Amino acid sequence: MFMGSGQDRFGRAFVENDVGDLTCYAESEDGITWHKPPLNIFEFDDDGRNNMVWDFHGACIFKDKNVLHSEQRYKAIGFCRRYRNIFLLTSVDGIEWDDSQWL
């Protein structure tokens, strides 16, 4: 459970009582051994060295092979604690997510 003070690197705070669900990023060559790189996107206890990529609950992330624009190659849908809503995000790499359509 996420117990630290929380905000993303843009200064957008998590909803104070709803910071327990986060989506994290990991990589694997074989599906057995996983690497969790420090991404510096979200802070946990004033430290960004973690693999958190978004404050989603129940996220479903997939790669859209038919997408016309590479910046929307990855898609995620889920409930975002920050915005208190279900919506779709897009990403070029599965790490940096675009929520500009909701701001």
9: DSSP letter: T
Does residue 19 surpass a pLDDT of 60? Answer: no
- Residue bearing the bigger pLDDT, 30 or 59: 30
**Band of residue 32 on the pLDDT scale cut at 50, 70, 90:** very high
Most confident stretch, 22-36, 58-72, 74-88: 22-36
pTM more than 0.75: no
H helix runs in 1-103, sequence order: none
Where do the domains of the chain lie? 6-102
Closest CA to 84 of 50, 56, 48: 56
The answer to whether 4 touches 50, Cβ cutoff 8 Å, is: no
Q: Based on the number of CB atoms within 10 Å of its own CB, is 85 exposed (0-12), middle (13-18) or buried (19 or more)?
A: exposed
